[in-house]
Amino acid sequence: MANTRPDEKLKPWQDPQALPYVRIERVTKRFGDFVAVNHVSLDIYQGEAFCLLGASGCGKTTLLRMLAGFEDPCEGRLFIDGQDMTGIPPYERPVNMMFQSYALFPHMSVEDNVAFGLRQDGVPKAERQERVSEMLKLVALDGYGKRRPQQLSGGQRQRVALARSLVKRPKLLLLDEPLGALDKKLRENTQFELINLQEKLGVTFVIVTHDQEEAMTLASRIGVMNHGRILQTGTPSDIYEYPTSKYVADFIGSVNMFEGRLVEDEPDYVRIESPELGGTVFVDHGVSSAPDAKVWVAVRPEKVRLDRERPDQPDNVFSGTVKEIAYLGDVSRYLVALDSGKLVRVTQPNTDRRDDRVTWEEQVWVSWSPGANVVVTQ
């Protein structure tokens, strides 16, 4: 699902020569005693769609509002296009924002809403009209210009808000839960429209969302936030496949987590003993951790296999009983109780229409390959 661009050899964040378009330097924001953003440093490059992902109250919106200029950092500095943003009011920043509530002006028509930013810059009337109608065409709202925002549906309002924030051709667009108010079907369509638009216009996006699926679809990179800190940044597949902490592994997608201790610690493999699992886990890569330290093995449900016969592999095979089945059409989700009592989530694709799938209370073997699991130490 990641935004792969085959034409690019080196991603800007991998290129040491690349200059970041947005630089966040050890920024802290406190509201009274509450630390909303805690020493965050982050570089965002031109043309990226960077997603700040986290549960509500994690500080992602505060960080976005600091970029827009609605809040001032208590410590640290923000640079946009190399320019220090300290003390620069929102109306002088080269940034536009799309608000979660859309914040459309209720007393103005759709046209006037979109034209508002251009009017502030003193763009002459003829050009203004041209750019507004061009923008409305881009978001597929031509013909709606004379309406009031109240006369539009939720999806149409969202597109007006997008048109209004793009009409000034900003180099950086901040989006606060851009699809939050839309229903599921509309959301999926709009996600792809947003990506297309972003690539077409070459705008740098910073998106705030609590919805991991949205982040995975939209983002070139994701920054997972918790308690005012950025826990991990990386491409969607990095974050999903190689989480570096329990929180990230748990927050993105669904995961099975087994607590254990390192019993064999070699450079190219490790063995972890987990009383929870009632056995040891073999991992085909090294782990940088003290021997005998407490670690967690994370395995995604779709990487776990489910068989009636014991599969022919030496490690990572455990027996159990099927407790719950959820048939979702494309996949089925199983909850398997291991002999140790630990519940394991398994997702299996329903590849054919057979009727002999495993059923409740059936004895099964769960297994996964040594490369399927990730070890996290915190």
Partner 1 sequence: MSPVAQPNLGQVLSGLLQALLGWAPVRAAQGRLKDWGVTGRMAVTAVPYLWLLVFFLVPFFIVLKISFSSVEIAMPPFAPLIQWADDKVMLIRLNLGNYQFLWEDELYSSALLNSLKMAGVSTILALLMGYPMAYGIARSSREWRNILLMLVMLPFWTSFLLRIYAWIGLLGINSPINQMLLALGLIDEPVSLLQTDWAVYIGIVYSYLPFMVLPLYTAIEKLDGTLLEAAADLGCRPTRAFFNITLPLTKEGIVAGCMLVFIPATGEFVIPALLGGPDSLMIGRVLWEEFFNNRDWPVASAVAILLLLLLVGPIMLYQRAQQAAGGAHR
Q: Which residues bind partner 1 (CB under 8 A)?
A: 68-70, 89-92, 95-97, 99, 101, 103-107, 116-117, 120-121, 148, 150, 164-165, 168
Q: Strands of 374-376's sheet, edge to edge?
A: 279-283, 270-274, 256-265, 294-299, 374-376
Give the nearer residue to partner 1 in terms of CB position, either 69 or 243: 69
Min separation Cβ 19 and partner 1, Å: 25
CB of 167 to partner 1, least distance (A): 9
Name the residue nearer to partner 1 (CB basis): 161 or 219: 161
| Closest CB to partner 1 among residues 149, 301 | 149
Q: Supply the DSSP string of 134-171, one letter for each residue.
A: HHHHHTT-TT-TTS-GGGS-HHHHHHHHHHHHHTT--S
Q: Which is nearer to partner 1, 158 or 367 (CB)?
A: 158
Least Å distance, CB 189 to partner 1, is: 25
Burial class (CB in 10 A: 0-12, 13-18, 19+), 51: buried
Of the pair 120, 313, the CB lying nearest partner 1 is at 120
- Give the CA distances from residue 345 to residues 141, 330, 338, in Å, rounded to whole numbers and listed in that order: 45, 16, 11
92 DSSP assignment:
G
CB of 99 to partner 1, least distance (A): 6
Rounded CA Rg of the chain: 25
Nearer to partner 1, 97 or 364 (CB): 97
Residues 6+ apart with CB under 8 A from 187: 179, 214
Cα angle 216-222-225, degrees, rounded to a multiple of 5: 115
For residues 207 and 173, give the distance between their C-alpha atoms in angstroms, rounded to a whole number.
8
DSSP letter (8 states) at residue 371: T
SS3 of residue 283 by DSSP: strand
State the minimum distance, in angstroms, from the CB of residue 113 to partner 1: 9
CB 97, min distance to partner 1, A: 5
- Least distance from partner 1 to the Cβ atom of residue 64, Å: 11
Name the residue nearer to partner 1 (CB basis): 120 or 189. Answer: 120
Neighbours of 260 (CB within 10 A): 20
